[in-house]
Structure 1
Amino acid sequence: MKKTAGRVTLPSQQNFLKETKELMKRWGADAIRDSDGTKLDQEIKQLDAKIYTTYFVARNHNDFAIKHPEERQQIYLMSQYNTATSTTIEIDFLKGYFTEQMEPDYIHDPKVWWEVIDRTTGEVVSPDHWSVNQTANTLTITETKQWHEYTVSFLAYMKWDPTHMYNHITNDWGDTPHDIPFDVRQPHANKYVKEYLRKWLKDNPETDVVRFTTFFYHFTLIFNHLGKEKFVDWFGYGASVSVAALEAFEKEKGYRLRPEDIVDEGYYNSTFRVPSQAYLDYLDFIQQFVAKEVKELVDIVHEHDKEAMMFLGDNWIGTEPYGKYFKHIGIDAVVGSVGDGTTLRIISDIPGVKYTEGRFLPYFFPDTFYEGNDPVIEANENWLTARRAFMRKPLDRIGYGGYLSLAYKFPKFVDYVEKVTDEFRDIYNKINGIKPYTGLKVAILNAWGKLRTWQTHIVAHGKWYKQAYSYHGVLESLSGSAVDVSFISFDEVINNGIPKDIDVIINAGDAGTAFSGGVWWKNEKLTTILREWVYNGGGFIGIGDPSAYHYQGRFYQLANVLGVDKELGFSLSTNKYFTEAKEAHFIAADVTNFDFGESMENVYVLTENTEIIEYSNGGVHLSSSSFGKGRGIYIAGLPYSHENTRLLLRAMYYAAHKEKEMKKWFASNVHCEVHAYPEINKYAIINNSTERQVTDVYDGAGKKHNVTLEASEILWEDYSHEG
């Protein structure tokens, strides 16, 4: 592979000039950045490279925050459940929380802004029946009902930015002052951030790219009393709440939010929850405010002839890249952490920016770079999973973060990254701006729609929960598959119908979640639209607990489409006779071992017309059913793997009645894939594994040939036919 340069961002630090120059040359870096906890000295800033400078808008300004404690960021928290054993109960509402991060808000009247709830009945307790001891941080309720449970929803001020806290604890920063987050909605803070940015830009002429990390409100990250993560929601808007915001919301929307609209029974409106209308209204309200304020900052950066880059993490809340207002911000670039193919597509698919950049793992921190550990293992896994998605929609740049001096101590890692950066540029130079071949148009149906394009339950630093959640497995498989993927919401289907170009709709997730749909499936218009669409030839794939909502004798509301339903224990007296699986089926042709992950149990066939593909342990885990001219496919679970990616691909083609088209561009070996680019008459055969693979390759014209690929190899071939 030819040695190339450019499109790579290198983290550096003080007193590391010689090594920085060496790695710039080896990795082909054309940009240098600082990180949280590092700074660039003047010699490094004079190197022939773009200089990215991390910029914090609403943290790392303690001089201001200490002067205006009333303008610190706020959050609604809920106490633990407390059982009343008498007619009076005293609640330690801070119990379980990290007091170095939070303190109760006593500046604003608790009787107005707090809420006490009888969780046994759901009734709100009158403020006349409770009082707060501000010295002891306790709340006493009188006239309680014995053996009922009670909670307190209280406003708190945040004293420590969560990301700074994480980095501080991870790197043992000792007595380094805690970054205090403040709220730009407040008058002094709003004025300060704009004046400070103008001054900072004048004082930092060597900065080419202002890397906003990020803007105003951190995703919800709450620590427990041990200083460990208690609640993490990368999509959580909890830290955007304030008395000022609640008052402005009431004025704009015409009604007042309750604390319960935010704490949500202690679930804090996590991404898994089907969002309430009040919460959706609040998201829209915050997004409008953030977009307006961010645009002002971006305009200031542009006035100083510098680029504005947004880090898709930390304080990103409100800057939804797939939301209604992002296009008005005017940001030049977005950079985010890449943990796998799905996280890569979150970034690379973002519309309306000049370029996108991925920060690859591992982060150069001591939790990975320590004696005895091999960071190449994580780096290789990270690159191979992300590379599949890269072949569909490449990032414009890649980079790393953390302490470069740590990475430099691991020569094998340095060698590996040199190979990755060269391979990245080689792929990019071939396919950037080129539309890859897609055999199907697939829509993911959930409660969030395009707002959560490629997004499920991402957590801090770009890593995903490793449990075999069906929804993430589906997205990860799709992120590098040769299909066109879109995201639609239940509301869109009800109001606008199903787009005419959709071949297959996928509904995946656990029952009751936003991804499966929960109460949405009670809507008769939704179910009738989907049934009609499948009956007329559409393909529907349900994974996990699709269309799940117990209503009118059905658990799966599209049971007639899927050909299966789930036994909840209510119909055990009704015999189920259909248990025999087919010996062979198109969908399972490449599977040697079924893996449904956490799976679903007690799913049974409705009629003999359903094709059972896998049946074990008293339940169906894979099946297909005809419904009119269309098909419904059921899969009990789909953790990401090469075999499951192939199973899903086959299921999609089968659901769409396009089985014969699947092998237009195709590799027989499940560890390999073919990506074709008709505009440039090239196709790539990639080995997604770390072992040598042999595969038959179908080249788009019905021709088959055999190829051997070394571990992780990409083989590029030209072709002259139309494909």
Structure 2
Amino acid sequence: MKKAKSTGRVTIPTQIGFDTETIELIARWGADAIRDCDGTKLPETIKKEVEKVYTTYFLTRGDQEWAYGNQEDLQQFYLMSEYTLAEDSTVEIELLEGYFDQQIRIDERHDPSEWWEVIDRTTQTRIDKEDWKYESGKVIVQNSVPWHEYTVSFLAYAIWDPTQMYNHITNNWGDKLHEMPYDARKPQTRAHMLKILKEWLDENEDCTVVRFTTFFYHFTLVFNELAKEKFVDWFGYSASISPMAMEAFEAARGYKLIPEDIVNKGYYNSPFCVPTKAYLDFLDFQQQFVCELAAKCVEMAHERGKEAMMFLGDNWIGTEPYGKHFEKIQLDAVVGSVGSGSTLRMISDIPHVKYTEGRFLPYFFPDTFHEGGNPVGEARENWLCARRAIMRKPVDRIGYGGYLSLAAQFPDFVEYVEKVCDEFRLIYDNIGGTKPYAAPFKVAVLNCWGKLRSWQTHMVAHALWYKQIYSYLGIIEALSGMAVEVEFISFDQIREEGIPEGVGVIINAGDVGTAWSGGENWSDEKVLTTIRKWVHNGGGFIGIGEPSAYEKGGRYFQLADLLGVDKEIGFTLSTRKYNQTAVEKHFLLEDVTEPLDFGEGMKNIYAKPKATVVHIDKEDVGIAVNQYGKGRGVYIAGLPYSIQNTRLLLRACYFAATQEEQYNRWNTTNPYTECAYYPETHKVAVINNSYEKQHTKVYFEDAHYEEITLDPMGIKWFEL
């Protein structure tokens, strides 16, 4: 007897004129929800075929008649001009050089002398107001110093919503209206926004889920003069600024923000930058405002019997899901785009919501779905990396976005998505909402952001490129599907609260001076002594790349004593270094079957006399371990994401925690496979994270094991 097809937990897009085909795909994929997308509408006939109807609502660009009629209330950026060289005592700076003039308009409503800054970047000094003036798109600086560089930090209006602009350009929408975003902080616009939301909710009775996309401020996305991305920061708050916001900040926090607090030398406070107190205060201030106003929007949806869902993307700024204000919104659900295991965990771990949903790739747009395109390949890769994370903490639903009619033209893709939907439901049902077995210790990732940015690095399309280079991203991706409980802690948390209870291993990674490594936090005596004491009493510390890097007191790694290694920067070339020979065998390397990949690695790392060198990368120490009292330090030169590096990190965690004897519990011997055990449901899953057939031993309790073979990308379930 043929088993009944599983259904539910899947959302698909649709559009007018594609009714019959949509109904067929609803049946094939087992979908129970439909959604519209930017540029599409939902057909009435389809709404009766599903349990949930998601309707996208754009709070700050839903009424373009209002936007065009009230352009003084448009959203704003703080932007910085290009560096301009002074060749004599006067220099002219073109503000829009390098910017897309269809996206931004210089703010000439607010007095430039009050709200802008001109900075001599050679001396890092602010130029007096009397020495510069604004005229017709340029700033003229008098009394400039020849051969110094100057910049202007200026206010500009957003005259094209970044998401609509991206979709417009990508899909060649021609003369379709350029939508402009308006600012919810402006009183008359805020009142109008809530008024039309109420009207919309009343008119759309058949909408069961309001998909807020998202709330009020878009992440920083600025295009260049060629209509290509110039600066993309999924965490950037520079597009949520305005004179009104700055005045409100001063009234609430007791001090005044300056443009440099936002533009930050042209870095715009990217997540790699160590955040200043002013910037952290501004983030918290914006989060409080956004969450309180978002709560009113959600309440209006609830009053009409509708669920409120937030898309974790586009206009998500201020709704930090791991921030202290997020709970106030009272959302029912969060949906976000899944580009990796780490982005899936970023969504699935979100607290204070009833359910989470992952929008899988590829998006049904012509940049993938075209003759010669490979949507199945992209979908396979997306599912393979996300599935590891799903085994640890699944989202409650999955879905897709874009033009369904476009995807339907690729039968092999339709068939593959059907398999993904069925496998997701099987995994979800077998997990049953329970927690999987995890190592007998927690792993804490230490950086400047801590809990606020759990599982988050920088996201967006360029994430995969960075993943090949920066160790930090590879670590987060590896951890997303690893059988360990992970939490994210900050240097401030260590200073104020110490190291959380239950943590057995701390990981610090990244390049010197970045927010991930820690920068000047490593000059703080409280941070250093707290960690040293904790490790000496039995904790484990793993440093990757340039951990604790801050040149001071004769050391480059401030925890060189703990890690057992330091970096030669030229100052100790005259000091002989003898401990540079690797041991023949070590616990960390027992699963290594291929040449180790440290990515860009780290040059000029040398071992301290008492450390154990585990691996030499060419002439530099690639891996070293060090006994530190009752605890251990582990150093790895780099860790881009790969199957082998994931297993190396897992072994490093057990070794650092002094728990090697627990390693072969609910584990596999083949690094291309992983085991997940769910004690409450008595289910065990073994997955194959490769496109080839794999053979492995699976260890259960008490050294008992079974040998199994898994098909490519296969999964095998056991019931105990």
Residues 461 and 516 of structure 1: is their aligned pair in 2 closer, same or farther, counting only changes over 3 Å?
closer
CA distance in 2, matches of 1:397, 1:459: 21
Matched residue, 2:482: 481
Please tell me the residue identity of whatever aligns with 2:140: T
CA distance in 2, matches of 1:519, 1:192: 46
Task: Give, in angstroms, the shift of residue 425 of structure 1.
Answer: 0.3
**Is residue 491 of structure 1 aligned with residue 492 of structure 2?**
yes
Task: Give, in angstroms, the shift of residue 347 of structure 1.
Answer: 0.4
Task: Give, in angstroms, the shift of residue 541 of structure 1.
Answer: 0.1
Deviation string 1:156-177 (CA, Å, 9 cap, x unpaired) is: 0110011111111110011111
With 451-460 and 276-285 compared, the bigger mean Cα shift is at 451-460
Matched residue, 2:207: 207
CA distance in 1, matches of 2:306, 2:457: 33
Deviation string 1:171-217 (CA, Å, 9 cap, x unpaired) is: 00111111101100001210011000110011111111000000100
Specify which of 65, 68, 89 is matched with residue 66 of structure 1. 68
Please tell me the residue identity of whatever aligns with 2:276: S
Within-5 A mapping of 1:3-402: 3-134=5-136, 137-402=137-402
- Mapped contact 1:74–1:157 kept (Cα < 8 A): yes
Within-5 A mapping of 1:476-625: 476-592=477-593, 593-607=595-609, 609-625=610-626
The count of corresponding residues between Structure 1 and Structure 2 is 716
- SS of residue matched to 1:190: helix
Please tell me the residue identity of whatever aligns with 1:639: P
- Mapped contact 1:509–1:516 kept (Cα < 8 A): yes
CA distance in 2, matches of 1:629, 1:552: 26
Task: Give, in angstroms, the shift of residue 48 of structure 1.
Answer: 3.3
CA distance in 1, matches of 2:382, 2:652: 27
- Mapped contact 2:687–2:716 kept (Cα < 8 A): yes
With 240-249 and 464-473 compared, the bigger mean Cα shift is at 464-473
Q: Which runs of 5+ in 2 are unaligned?
A: none
- SS of residue matched to 1:587: helix
Please tell me the residue identity of whatever aligns with 1:309: M
Q: Which runs of 5+ in 1 are unaligned?
A: none
- Mapped contact 1:458–1:465 kept (Cα < 8 A): no
TM score, norm. by length of structure 2:
0.98
Please tell me the residue identity of whatever aligns with 2:633: G
Task: Give, in angstroms, the shift of residue 351 of structure 1.
Answer: 0.5
CA distance in 2, matches of 1:161, 1:175: 15
- Mapped contact 2:86–2:148 kept (Cα < 8 A): yes
Deviation string 1:573-598 (CA, Å, 9 cap, x unpaired) is: 22222211111110011112200111
- Mapped contact 1:61–1:180 kept (Cα < 8 A): no
Please tell me the residue identity of whatever aligns with 1:193: M
Deviation string 1:221-279 (CA, Å, 9 cap, x unpaired) is: 11111110000100000111001000000000000001000000000000000000000
Task: Give, in angstroms, the shift of residue 37 of structure 1.
Answer: 1.3
Task: Give, in angstroms, the shift of residue 467 of structure 1.
Answer: 3.0
Deviation string 1:62-106 (CA, Å, 9 cap, x unpaired) is: 100111010000110001111111001111121001110011101
CA distance in 1, matches of 2:345, 2:315: 20
Matched residue, 1:412: 412
Within-5 A mapping of 1:626-665: 626-665=627-666
Please tell me the residue identity of whatever aligns with 1:492: Q
CA distance in 1, matches of 2:667, 2:59: 48
Deviation string 1:5-46 (CA, Å, 9 cap, x unpaired) is: 001001001100111000000000000001111111222223
- SS of residue matched to 2:392: coil
CA distance in 2, matches of 1:253, 1:196: 32
CA distance in 1, matches of 2:92, 2:553: 44
- SS of residue matched to 2:23: helix
Please tell me the residue identity of whatever aligns with 1:283: L
Task: Give, in angstroms, the shift of residue 460 of structure 1.
Answer: 5.0
Matched residue, 1:467: 468
Task: Give, in angstroms, the shift of residue 435 of structure 1.
Answer: 1.1
CA distance in 2, matches of 1:620, 1:2: 57
- Mapped contact 1:349–1:393 kept (Cα < 8 A): yes
Please tell me the residue identity of whatever aligns with 1:334: V
**Is residue 456 of structure 1 aligned with residue 450 of structure 2?**
no
Residues 526 and 425 of structure 1: is their aligned pair in 2 closer, same or farther, counting only changes over 3 Å?
same
Please tell me the residue identity of whatever aligns with 2:22: T
Task: Give, in angstroms, the shift of residue 432 of structure 1.
Answer: 3.2
Please tell me the residue identity of whatever aligns with 2:646: T
Please tell me the residue identity of whatever aligns with 2:637: A
- Mapped contact 2:388–2:481 kept (Cα < 8 A): yes
Task: Give, in angstroms, the shift of residue 333 of structure 1.
Answer: 0.3
Deviation string 1:660-690 (CA, Å, 9 cap, x unpaired) is: 1010111100100110111121211111111
Please tell me the residue identity of whatever aligns with 1:662: Y
- SS of residue matched to 1:167: helix
Deviation string 1:264-309 (CA, Å, 9 cap, x unpaired) is: 0000000000000000000010000001100000001111110100
Residues 41 and 680 of structure 1: is their aligned pair in 2 closer, same or farther, counting only changes over 3 Å?
closer
- SS of residue matched to 1:310: strand
CA distance in 2, matches of 1:312, 1:246: 25
Matched residue, 1:424: 424
CA distance in 1, matches of 2:655, 2:223: 47
CA distance in 2, matches of 1:532, 1:48: 58
CA RMSD of aligned residues (A): 1.1
With 697-706 and 403-412 compared, the bigger mean Cα shift is at 697-706
TM score, norm. by length of structure 1:
0.98
CA distance in 2, matches of 1:355, 1:618: 51
Please tell me the residue identity of whatever aligns with 2:195: E
Residues 654 and 718 of structure 1: is their aligned pair in 2 closer, same or farther, counting only changes over 3 Å?
same
Task: Give, in angstroms, the shift of residue 310 of structure 1.
Answer: 0.1
Task: Give, in angstroms, the shift of residue 373 of structure 1.
Answer: 1.6
CA distance in 2, matches of 1:450, 1:511: 21
CA distance in 2, matches of 1:660, 1:432: 30
Sequence identity percentage: 59
Task: Give, in angstroms, the shift of residue 461 of structure 1.
Answer: 9.4
Matched residue, 1:701: 702
Deviation string 1:454-491 (CA, Å, 9 cap, x unpaired) is: 00011159866343211111111111011000010001
- Mapped contact 1:667–1:695 kept (Cα < 8 A): yes
CA distance in 2, matches of 1:372, 1:147: 51
Deviation string 1:688-709 (CA, Å, 9 cap, x unpaired) is: 1111100011112311221011
**Is residue 671 of structure 1 aligned with residue 685 of structure 2?**
no
- Mapped contact 1:60–1:180 kept (Cα < 8 A): no
CA distance in 2, matches of 1:553, 1:405: 64
- Mapped contact 1:76–1:154 kept (Cα < 8 A): yes
- SS of residue matched to 1:66: helix
CA distance in 2, matches of 1:46, 1:204: 14
- SS of residue matched to 2:587: coil
- Mapped contact 1:538–1:631 kept (Cα < 8 A): yes
